Structure 1
Amino acid sequence: MPRLWADRSAVRLLPDEPGFATGPVRVGELTAVGEVTLHNGRTLRATLGGTAPDGCSDTELLLRVWKSLGSDGLRRADGMFVLAIADGDDLVLVRDHVGTRTVFYGYGGAGWCASTSLLALRRTPSLRAGLNLDAVRSFLTFAYLPGDETLVSGVRDVLPGRVLRLRPDASTVDETFWEPEERIVAADDHPRRLRALLEEATASRLPAGEPVGVLLSGGIDSSLVTALAAKSHDQTVRTYSISFGSELPNELAYSGLVAAHCHTTHTVLAVPGEAIASRLAETVALLDSPVRDPLTVPNLLLAEAAAADGLTVVLNGEGGDPVFGGPKNLPMLIYEMHREDTAPAARATAYLRSYRKCYEDLPTLLRTDGRGAPLERFVAPYLDGPMDSLLNRLLHCNLRTKGAHHILTKVERLTAARGLQGRSPLFAPAVVDHAFTVPPRLKLHGTSEKWVLKEAVRDLLPRTIVDRPKSGMRVPVQQWLTGPLRTLTHEVLLDRRSHPLFDVRTVRSWLRGEGALLPRQGGKLWLVLTLELWLRAYDLV
C-alpha cells in the first residue's frame, strides 16, 4: 500500500514506495504529495472558477484549493485526505476534518520528516525512535491512543481538522480549520433536514459506474447506509455480514432482513476462532496504532471478501453512536445525576473509568513506573469545553478521540491494505455539523437513542430495524482466548524474553480468571495481547 513520505530538510516530497499513485504535484511555488480522495471535487472546481485543469488529481485539486483559499478552502472540502506541502523552508501537514487518514511527523538530526506510515518513521535513523511509555499508559486506559501521541517516542500524529506548519528551527504552528460547534436550532424539521444531508453524503461516496459494498451488521446505522446506497446507486449493492457461529447470539436475522428489503446481493462470512488465531498478528501489524477491538481480523476478512468480488469501495455505518448519541454515553449521564465530587478533573476521571479497560489496573499491571502526565488531559478539553449540553460534550469527546483515533483509522488501514476505500457517510462533516444543531433531547429522546437519526430514515427500513434497541455484536473473546488463541496468548504474555512491561503475576491471575467480580479478564487480556503483538511488529520489544 503506497504511503506518502515528506522530508523537509531537503525541501522535497517523495513517496516511500515506487509507483505512488499521485506522485509529487506542483502548483506555483508549492510542491505536495498526498493521499487524497475528494467527494465534492466538482464543487471545489467551481469554487476555483475553472482554474484547476481538467483531469487533475484530487491531490492537485486540494493543493490548489489550499493555495487559493487557505483554511477556508480546506473547510469546504469533503473527503478523506492528508496532504504534505513544501512551502519555502516549511513543511505543512494537513489532515481531513474527522481524521479518516493519518500523517505522522518527527524532528531529528536531519530536520523534519513525515509519513503516513508510522513504521517508516520508526525505522528512520535520525529520529532514534524508541518506545513511548506514556503512550502505553494511554493505550491501556482507552484501548486506543486518543490524541496526537504515538507509541514511538518523538513521533506525533497530526490531529484531525488541523494544518500543522513545521518550521526549520524545530518550532510548530498549529491551526484549526474545522471543529464542530454547538449551535442549537429550535426547529421541528430536523429529521427532514438530516435526511437530505444523509442522502447527499451517501450518494457522493458511491463509486461512479461500479458496484459498491456495505458492511452490514443489522443495526440502524449500517442498515440506513445500505438503504440509502440501494436507493441512490445505479449499480449492484453488495452487503457483507459476519457470523461467529450459530451457537452464539447474533444479528444475522436483522442483517438478512435489511438485505432482502433493500434487494442487495448478500454474503455472510463465517469467521471461526482458528481464523482469528492465524491472522491476529498479521492484522495488528497493519495498524499504525493498535486498537483493542476484537473485530479487527473480521474487518480484514470482510475487506478481502469485498476485494475478491471486484469492489473498490465499501461503505459502513460508523459514526452513528459518536455523532448522534449511542448507548456508551449512559454511564456518564448517570454519573452526572449523582455527582458529588466537584474537583476540576472529576468528570474526566469518571470518563476514563467508564471505559472499563485497564485504567485502575495500571499500578499492578505495569512493571515500570505507572505515573506520568495525567490521562485526563485527552478528554477534559471536550468534557469541560465550550458546549453547554453535557450530551454534546460527550459526543464531541467521542468524535475527537475514539472516532478519529480508533474507528476511522482502523477502517481506513484495514480496507486500504486490500486495495479498497472504506467510506463513512455518517462521519461526513456536513452531517456532523448538523448533529450539533439538533437539540440534545432529539438525540437521546427519553429511552430512544439516536432518535433524530431513526426518524430521518423511518420510511426506508422495516420498523423492526428502526425501533429495536441497540444490542451490539456478541464477540466470543473469552472462548477464543481459552480455545484457539490459548497457546498464542500464553506464549506471548508469559514469555520472559518479551518486553518487560507487564507484571507476570497480574497477567497470570487474569489467565486464571481471577481479579474481577465480572468476567472482564478476557477483555483485559485481549488489550494486553494486542499491544504486545503490535510492539513486536514494530521492533519495540
Structure 2
Amino acid sequence: MCGIAGIFHYQTVKPVDPKRVERMTTALAHRGPDGAGVWTAPGIGLGHRRLSIIDLAGSPQPMHSADGRAVIVFNGEIYNFRQLRRELEQGGARFRTDGDTETILAAWQKWGPDCLKRLDGMFAFALYDLDKRQLFLARDRLGVKPLHMARLGDGSLIFASELKGLTAHPMLRREIDPLAIEDYMTWGYVPDHRSILKRVEKLPAGHFMLLEHGREPGPPQQWWDVGFAEREKGSTADLSAQLLHLIREGVTSRMVSDVPLGAFLSGGVDSSSVVALMSEASARPVATCSIGFDVAAVDETSHARNVAQLFGTDHHERIVSSDQFGKLGRIAGMFDEPFADASALPTLRVCELAREHVTVALSGDGADEAFAGYRRQLFQAREEQARMVLPARLRKPIFGALGAIWPKADWAPRPLRAKITFLALAESGEAGYARALAILAPEQRQALFGEAMLRERGDYRAEQPFIATMRKAPARTGLDRAQYADLKFWLPGDILTKTDRTSMAVGLEAREPLLDHRLIEFAARLPLRQRIRGTQGKWLVKHTMERYLPQDILYRPKQGFVTPLSQWFRGPLAGEARAIAGSELLTGNGWFDRKALSRLAVDHISGRSDNGRVLWQLLMLEKSLRHLSPSA
C-alpha cells in the first residue's frame, strides 16, 4: 500500500522539476513510510511513497519494466499476481522481483488497457510507456484506492493519491467549489463526480485514462461495471454453496502477506464472517481489533468479544469517548475534503489499535451494499411495491400532503417517524431513495443556506447525479437500482474513502474481501428473495453463515458504527455546537445563514430536536475549510 503522485505535460513536452514531484510525494509520506522514489523524463515525472507488504526489499518504485520501456508507480495489491506471472512467463516475460508491481508492467506490455480485466485487486496506478509516449492512469473496479487529478494552466495534468498531494503543487489554486458544498450538505461527503476544489477531478472507480503528449486529455473510459439485470438460477442450497465459496476465496486471497495480518471486528455479520473464515484458514490465532464507546446504548464491544472468544482470536479493544475530539483538526487534515461520516473517528481509532499489532487488516466493508443489508434498501423495496399499486397522480397529492403535515418527530420510536416515508412515496423511486439517503433534504438545505450559496448553486441539486445514476443502472427493479447507486455513489464516496484515509494515516493496509469483484457480480445476480425476506436484509449471507455464527450475531438488529453525536453535542461538545453559528468561514461569505445555524444548535441542546448529525456536518465543514485555506 502506497501513495503515488506525478506530473504529465500533455500540451508540449517540457522538463519536469523532480523537486516538485518530491514535494507532492512528501505530502503523502503517511501512506508510505518505508521508502520514497522519484523518476523524471521529458514531459513526465512519477513519484512514490512505499508501505512494504509484499516482496519487502525487492520492489522499489518507480519501477521500470525488465526491458526498460515502461515505468510505473502503483498503490494497492494485486491478489492474483502469481497466477498472472506464470501466464506471462509462459509468453516470454522476464521478472526480476517477487512482487505484484512488475506483473502490472508485463501485463500492460502484453495486453495494453485490457490488462485491467485480468487484475484481481485494489489499485490506482500511473504507467508511462516510453515507446508509445503514453501515460496510463487506472483505478480499480469499485474504487478502493483513490486517484485525484487536476489540469494546470501550463498544459500539464497533475495527479496524486490524495488531494494534499495536488495542493503541494504551487500552481494549483485553492478555490472552493460551491456546488461541492451543496453535495456535501446533502450526503455528508463530496462524491467522486466532484471535488471541494474547482478544477480538481477524481478518476471514477472502474475507469482509466490514456494520455498522450500533444493531445488534450479525453474523458475517463469505463472498463468495468456491475449488472443487476440477470438472475442466478438454482436452489437456496446451491446458491449458498456458491456464496460460501466466493466469500472464502475473497478472504483467503487477501491473507497473502509478508507482514503481520489481522482483522477489524465489530461483532456484526460482515466482520464476524470474515474473522470466521480467516480463523478457518489460519493455523495461528487471528489478531482482531474492536472499538467501543463510552455511551452504553451504542457500544457493541460485548458482541465483538463473543465472536473473538468463539474463534479463539488474539483480541484487542479500545474505547472512544468525547474527550478525544481534540483530533478533529487531524481528521479534517486526513480527508482534505469535508467528510461528515462520524464513524471516521472510531475507524481511525481501530486503525491505530490494529497498527500496534499488524500491518494489514481485513474489513467487512461492502456486503451491505451488495446484498441489501441496509434498512433503507428494505424500505425502498417495500415503497416500490406501493408505487406499483398506486399511480403517481394519486401518490403525489396524498403522500405529499401527509409528508408536509407530519411532524419530524426525531424523538419518537422509529415506526412513528413516517415523514420521510410519506415524502418519498410522493416521488419517483429514484427521488425517494435519494431522499432516504440524504442527510438534509432540499427544503432543509434551503433553510440553512445564505443568499450567496442559493445564488451560486442555481438550479443544481445534489440529488440530480444520484438519480441519474439510478436511472441508467443495468437493473430490473427499484431495489436493483438502489443497490447499484449504493455501489457506484455511496461506497466509493463514503465507505471506502473513510477506510482508505484512516488506515493510510497510520501506515496500515486495509483489505476488503467482501468486495472481491466476483462476489459483487454474483450478489448483483441474486433473486430478490435471496437478498430480502420479511424484515431481513442480506438474507442469503446470514443463512449461509449459520454454520459458523450464532443466531444473536446473525439476526440481531443492525446497528453499524454508530457514534453518539447527539449525546455529545448536548454535553461535552455543546460549546462546539454554539460556536458554529459564529464561524466566519461558514457565514462570512454568505454560504450559510447565521441565524439558521444558531437555531439549529439551540434547538438541539434544548432537546427540541435532534440535530446532532447536521451539527457534526457543519463542524467538519468548518474544520476542512480552515485546513484548505491558502494560509494553512
Structure-2-length-normalised TM-score: 0.80
Distance 1:447 1:281 in 2: 40
What's 1:329 paired with?
377
2:370 is the alignment partner of 1:282? no
Counterpart secondary structure, 1:3: strand
1:381-433 superposed Cα distances (whole Å, 9 cap, x missing partner): 44222211222211111011111111112101111111111111111111101
What's 2:424 paired with?
none
1:370-409 matches, cutoff 5 A: 370-384=457-471, 385-409=473-497
Kindly state the Cα deviation for residue 272 of structure 1 after the two structures are TM-superposed: 1.3
Contact 1:245 1:272 in 2 (8 A): yes
* Alpha-carbon distance change, 101 to 289 in structure 1, aligned in 2, over 3 angstroms: farther
1:33-92 superposed Cα distances (whole Å, 9 cap, x missing partner): 121311111122123235251525423322322332234321221222111123445432
Kindly state the Cα deviation for residue 447 of structure 1 after the two structures are TM-superposed: 2.2
Contact 1:216 1:241 in 2 (8 A): yes
2:217 is the alignment partner of 1:171? yes
Distance 1:485 1:213 in 2: 34
1:142-157 matches, cutoff 5 A: 142-157=187-202
Kindly state the Cα deviation for residue 516 of structure 1 after the two structures are TM-superposed: 12
Distance 1:79 1:201 in 2: 10
1:449-491 superposed Cα distances (whole Å, 9 cap, x missing partner): 1111112222111222223332334421012223332333433
Kindly state the Cα deviation for residue 300 of structure 1 after the two structures are TM-superposed: 1.2
Distance 2:118 2:581 in 1: 48
Contact 1:383 1:394 in 2 (8 A): yes
* Alpha-carbon distance change, 450 to 197 in structure 1, aligned in 2, over 3 angstroms: same
Q: Write the letter of the residue equivalent to 1:172.
A: G
* Alpha-carbon distance change, 169 to 211 in structure 1, aligned in 2, over 3 angstroms: closer
Contact 2:267 2:553 in 1 (8 A): yes
Point out the structure with max Rg over C-alpha: 2
What's 2:241 paired with?
192
Distance 1:217 1:233 in 2: 20
Distance 1:485 1:45 in 2: 54
What's 2:33 paired with?
none
Distance 1:503 1:281 in 2: 24
**Unpaired segments of 5 or more residues in structure 2?**
27-35, 38-48, 51-59, 397-426
1:470-526 superposed Cα distances (whole Å, 9 cap, x missing partner): 233442101222333233343354233656322111111110126999843111111
What's 2:521 paired with?
433
Q: Write the letter of the residue equivalent to 1:263.
A: G
Counterpart secondary structure, 2:151: strand
Contact 1:8 1:89 in 2 (8 A): no
Distance 1:493 1:374 in 2: 24
Match of 2:544 among 456, 465, 470: 456
Counterpart secondary structure, 1:422: strand
1:352-389 superposed Cα distances (whole Å, 9 cap, x missing partner): 21124123222222222243434334223442222112
* Alpha-carbon distance change, 67 to 177 in structure 1, aligned in 2, over 3 angstroms: farther
Distance 2:385 2:326 in 1: 46
Kindly state the Cα deviation for residue 325 of structure 1 after the two structures are TM-superposed: 0.3
* Alpha-carbon distance change, 434 to 269 in structure 1, aligned in 2, over 3 angstroms: same
2:320 is the alignment partner of 1:320? no
Distance 2:257 2:140 in 1: 22
1:91-490 matches, cutoff 5 A: 91-110=135-154, 111-167=156-212, 168-182=214-228, 183-188=230-235, 189-208=238-257, 210-245=259-294, 247-275=296-324, 277-309=325-357, 311-326=358-373, 327-339=375-387, 340-341=391-392, 346-360=428-442, 361-367=444-450, 368-369=453-454, 370-384=457-471, 385-490=473-578
What's 2:116 paired with?
74
Contact 2:570 2:605 in 1 (8 A): no
Kindly state the Cα deviation for residue 308 of structure 1 after the two structures are TM-superposed: 1.6
Q: Write the letter of the residue equivalent to 2:360.
A: V
Identity %: 26
Distance 1:163 1:229 in 2: 33
Kindly state the Cα deviation for residue 446 of structure 1 after the two structures are TM-superposed: 2.6
2:77 is the alignment partner of 1:29? no
Counterpart secondary structure, 2:220: strand
Q: Write the letter of the residue equivalent to 1:383.
A: M
* Alpha-carbon distance change, 434 to 468 in structure 1, aligned in 2, over 3 angstroms: same
Counterpart secondary structure, 2:297: coil
What's 1:536 paired with?
626
Contact 1:312 1:421 in 2 (8 A): yes
Contact 2:580 2:597 in 1 (8 A): no
Contact 1:389 1:440 in 2 (8 A): no
Of the structure 1 ranges 405-414 and 30-39, higher mean CA displacement relative to structure 2 is found in 30-39
* Alpha-carbon distance change, 69 to 234 in structure 1, aligned in 2, over 3 angstroms: farther
Counterpart secondary structure, 2:543: helix
CA-based RMSD of the aligned residues comes to 2.6
Kindly state the Cα deviation for residue 211 of structure 1 after the two structures are TM-superposed: 4.1
Structure-1-length-normalised TM-score: 0.92
Of the structure 1 ranges 375-384 and 97-106, higher mean CA displacement relative to structure 2 is found in 375-384
**How many residues are aligned here?**
539
What's 2:407 paired with?
none
**Unpaired segments of 5 or more residues in structure 1?**
none
What's 1:63 paired with?
105
Distance 2:585 2:259 in 1: 50
Match of 1:38 among 61, 67, 78: 78
Counterpart secondary structure, 2:502: helix
